[in-house]
Structure 1
Amino acid sequence: MTVTHDQASWFAQTFDQLVGNVAQAVVGKEHVVRLALTCMLSEGHLLLEDFPGTGKTQLARSIAGTVQGTNSRIQFTPDLLPSDVSGVTVYDQDKHEFTFHPGPIFATIVLADEINRASPKTQSALLEVMEEGRVTVDGTPHDVGDPFMVIATQNPIEQAGTYRLPEAQLDRFLMKTTLGYPDHEATMAVLADAKNRDRAAGLSPVVTSAVVGDMAALADEVHVDPAILAYVSRIAEESRRHPSVRLGLSVRGCLAFVRVAKTWALSQGRDHVIPDDVKLLAEPVMNHRLLLTAEAQFAEITVQQVIDQLLTQVPAPADRVAAP
Structure 2
Amino acid sequence: SYGYKREPINKNKTEIVVDDFASKVVQKAYEWYATSSFSMELLRQKIKSEFGVDWSKGMTDKILKDHFYYGIMTWKNKQYKHKYQPIVTKQLFDQVQQVKASFNKKPFKYAGKPNIIYRGLLRCGHCGLAVTPEKHKGHIYYHCTQYNGKHGASWLREETITEQIGDVFKRLQIPDWVLEQVVGNLSNLHQNKMDFHNKQLDKLNDENKTLTKMMDNLYLDKLKGRITDDKYDQFFQSFHEQKAGIATRLVMLQEAEDNYYISTKYLLELSNRAYELFKSSEVEERRQLINLD
| TM-score, normalization by structure 2 | 0.24
* Structure richer in helix, relative to its length: 2
